[in-house]
C-alpha cells in the first residue's frame, strides 16, 4: 500500500503539500493540485487512518455494543421485538457523520462486555453506544479516558446519558384515545412488575384516567406476564388474569395488554370464551410489532415503540458529544411513540359483555 511519501515523490512535491491537498486546510496551487490528484489516482493511494489517528488523537471510530445481531432472529421467531431497529437507526444517523462504527455483539452474554470495551479502547473509539433489548437498568464497567458513553433503551446508576422510550406518554396516549372512543372501563394486563416499562405505563394509564376524571379501579389492572421462558406458565397466568378482569362486577369494554404478543394470545382466549372482536370487547397491545399487529384479524391497535428513532437520537447525541464536545443531557432523552389505531378497538362506544364468561377453565 502506497504512502503519502510515494504520492509526494511522484507528484514532485512535499508530503505536507499532499496532506494539505487531502485535508484542504491550506490553499494548494492549481497545477500542484492537478499533479497530486494524478499521482494519487495512479498509485491508488488511500490514507492510513492509523497514522492519522496517532498524530491527531482522533480515531473517527465509534463502538456499538448490542446483542441484537445474534439474538434478533431467535427473538423474532418468538414474537419478540426487533431491537436491531435501534441499530439501524444508529447506522443511518452515523452514515453521514464521517464516523465509522465498530460493532460488537455480546451474544447475550454480559460477561463478555469488559473485553469488548477493552478492544474498543485499543482502537481508541471516541464514543460507545450500548443498546439493550428492552427498557432496563444496566451496570457497565467503568470506561477509562474521555470516551463518551451513550445508553440506548437502558439507563444506569451513574446517570450516563441515555435514550429511552417514553413508556408513560405512550400508554397515556393509548388510554386517552380509548377514552375518546367512549371507553370508561379499561382493563390493563401488564408485563411483569420487574420490567421498568410496567410502572411507567401504569402511571401513563392513570394520567389519562385522571385527566378524564375517571376513578382508578385496581381490579382492572394486574400483572399477567413472566419474563421467564416458561410458555405454559405464561399462558396460565394470562388466562387467570383475563378471567379475573372479565368477571368483575362492572367488566371492562377494552383490554390493554403489556405487549403485542400478549394481545395475540388474548385474541385466542377471548375467542375461546365466545367473544367477538372488537364488537364484544376491544383489545390493544404495545410495541407495534408489525409481524403481529398487521397479521392478526382484526388488526391490532397498539403503541409504537420507536426503536429506529431511539437509535437515531442516541447516535445524534453521541456525535454531538464527540464532535462539538457538548455536554451530556441531565435527564434521559425520552422518545415517544404514537398510538396506532387499527381495527381491534371499536371506533364508537363499546358494547357491554352480555354473556356469562366461563370461569377458570383453561383454553385448549
CB of 18 to a second copy, least distance (A): 15
Query: What span, in angstroms and rounded, lies between the C-alpha atoms of 106 and 112?
Result: 6
3-state secondary structure at position 73: helix
Residues 103-142 that bind DNA (CB under 7 A): none
Residues 70-129 that bind a second copy (CB under 8 A): 70, 72-73, 76-77, 82, 84-85, 87-88, 91-92, 100-105, 107, 118-119, 121-124
Residues 242-301 that bind a second copy (CB under 8 A): 290-291
Residues 272-311 that bind DNA (CB under 7 A): none
Measured between its terminal Cα atoms, the distance across the chain in Å is 68
List residues bridging with 101 in a β-sheet.
62
CB of 59 to a second copy, least distance (A): 7
Closest CA to 126 of 142, 143, 144, 148: 148
Q: How far is CA 140 from the centre of its chain?
A: 19
Pairing state between β 61-66 and 127-137: parallel
20 binds, among a second copy, DNA, none (CB under 5 to 8 A by kind): DNA
15 binds, among a second copy, DNA, none (CB under 5 to 8 A by kind): DNA
323 binds, among a second copy, DNA, none (CB under 5 to 8 A by kind): none
What does 172-183 look like in DSSP terms, one character per residue? HHHHHHHHHTT-
3-state secondary structure at position 357: coil
70 contacts 131 by C-beta, under 8 angstroms: no
Residues 142-161 that bind a second copy (CB under 8 A): 144-145
Query: Measuring CA to CA, how many Å separate 54 from each of 60, 63, 123?
Result: 11, 18, 11
Specify the residue, 125 or 191, whose C-beta has the smaller distance to a second copy.
125
DSSP 8-state code for residue 287: B
DSSP 8-state code for residue 143: -
Size of the site for a second copy (CB under 8 A): 41
Burial letters 96-132, b for 16+ CB under 10 A, else e: ebebebbbbbbeeeeeebeebbeebeeeebbbbbbbb
Contact pattern from residue 42 through residue 71 relative to DNA, giving x for each residue in contact according to CB under 7 A and a dash for the rest: ---x-xx--xx-xxxx--------------
Lookup: cell for 270: 377471548
List residues bridging with 202 in a β-sheet.
none
- Element (DSSP H or E) covering residue 324: none
355 near DNA, judged by CB under 7 A: no
311 contacts 85 by C-beta, under 8 angstroms: yes
For residue 270, which phi and psi values (nearest 5 degrees)? Answer: -65, -40
CB of 42 to DNA, least distance (A): 15
- 165 contact partners, CB below 8 Å, separation of at least 6: 135, 153, 197, 305, 306, 307, 310, 334, 335, 336, 337
Looking at 39-47, 186-194, 297-305, 321-329, which segment touches a second copy (CB under 8 A)?
Answer: 39-47
3-state secondary structure at position 62: strand
29 near DNA, judged by CB under 7 A: yes
Binding-site member from 25, 46, 141, 324 for a second copy (CB under 8 A): 46
Specify the residue, 176 or 234, whose C-beta has the smaller distance to a second copy.
234
Specify the residue, 61 or 179, whose C-beta has the smaller distance to a second copy.
61
50 near a second copy, judged by CB under 8 A: yes
Looking at 51-59, 193-201, 238-246, 328-336, which segment touches a second copy (CB under 8 A)?
Answer: 51-59
CB of 114 to a second copy, least distance (A): 12
Note the residues at the interface with a second copy (CB under 8 A).
1, 44, 46-51, 53-54, 59, 69-70, 72-73, 76-77, 82, 84-85, 87-88, 91-92, 100-105, 107, 118-119, 121-124, 144-145, 290-291
Note the residues at the interface with DNA (CB under 7 A).
1, 3-5, 12-17, 19-20, 22-23, 25-29, 31-33, 45, 47-48, 51-52, 54-57
Amino acid at each position: 500500500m502506497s504512502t503519502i511519501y510515494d504520492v509526494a515523490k511522484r507528484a514532485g512535491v512535499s508530503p505536507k503539500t499532499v496532506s494539505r491537498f487531502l485535508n484542504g486546510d491550506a490553499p494548494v496551487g492549481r497545477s500542484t493540485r492537478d499533479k497530486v490528484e494524478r499521482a494519487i489516482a495512479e498509485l491508488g493511494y488511500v490514507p492510513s487512518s492509523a497514522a492519522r489517528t496517532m498524530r491527531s488523537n482522533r480515531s473517527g471510530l465509534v463502538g456499538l455494543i448490542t446483542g441484537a445481531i445474534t439474538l434478533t432472529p431467535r427473538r423474532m421467531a418468538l414474537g419478540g421485538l426487533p431491537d436491531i431497529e435501534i441499530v439501524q437507526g444508529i447506522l443511518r444517523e452515523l452514515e453521514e457523520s464521517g464516523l465509522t462504527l465498530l460493532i460488537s455483539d455480546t451474544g447475550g452474554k454480559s460477561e463478555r462486555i469488559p473485553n469488548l470495551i477493552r478492544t474498543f479502547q485499543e482502537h481508541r473509539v471516541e464514543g460507545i453506544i450500548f443498546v439493550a433489548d428492552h427498557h432496563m437498568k444496566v451496570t457497565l464497567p467503568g470506561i477509562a479516558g474521555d470516551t463518551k458513553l451513550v445508553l440506548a433503551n437502558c439507563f444506569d446508576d451513574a446517570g450516563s446519558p441515555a435514550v429511552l422510550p417514553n413508556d408513560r406518554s405512550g400508554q397515556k396516549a393509548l388510554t386517552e384515545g380509548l377514552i375518546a372512543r367512549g371507553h370508561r372501563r379499561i382493563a390493563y394486563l401488564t408485563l411483569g412488575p420487574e420490567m421498568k416499562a410496567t410502572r411507567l405505563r401504569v402511571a401513563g394509564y392513570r394520567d389519562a384516567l385522571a385527566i378524564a376524571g375517571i376513578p382508578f379501579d385496581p381490579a382492572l389492572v394486574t400483572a399477567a406476564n413472566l419474563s421467564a421462558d416458561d410458555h405454559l406458565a405464561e399462558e396460565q397466568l394470562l388466562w387467570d388474569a383475563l378471567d379475573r378482569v372479565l368477571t368483575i362486577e362492572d367488566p371492562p369494554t377494552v383490554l390493554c395488554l403489556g405487549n403485542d404478543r400478549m394481545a395475540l394470545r388474548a385474541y385466542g382466549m377471548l375467542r375461546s370464551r365466545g367473544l367477538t372482536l372488537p364488537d364484544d370487547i376491544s383489545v390493544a397491545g404495545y410495541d407495534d410489532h408489525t409481524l403481529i399487529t398487521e397479521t392478526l384479524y382484526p388488526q391490532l391497535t397498539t403503541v409504537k415503540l420507536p426503536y429506529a428513532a431511539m437509535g437515531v437520537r442516541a447516535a445524534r447525541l453521541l456525535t454531538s458529544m464527540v464532535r462539538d464536545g457538548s455536554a451530556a443531557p441531565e435527564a434521559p432523552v425520552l422518545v415517544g411513540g404514537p398510538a396506532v389505531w387499527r381495527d381491534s378497538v371499536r371506533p364508537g362506544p363499546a358494547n357491554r359483555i352480555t354473556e356469562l364468561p366461563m370461569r377458570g377453565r383453561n383454553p385448549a
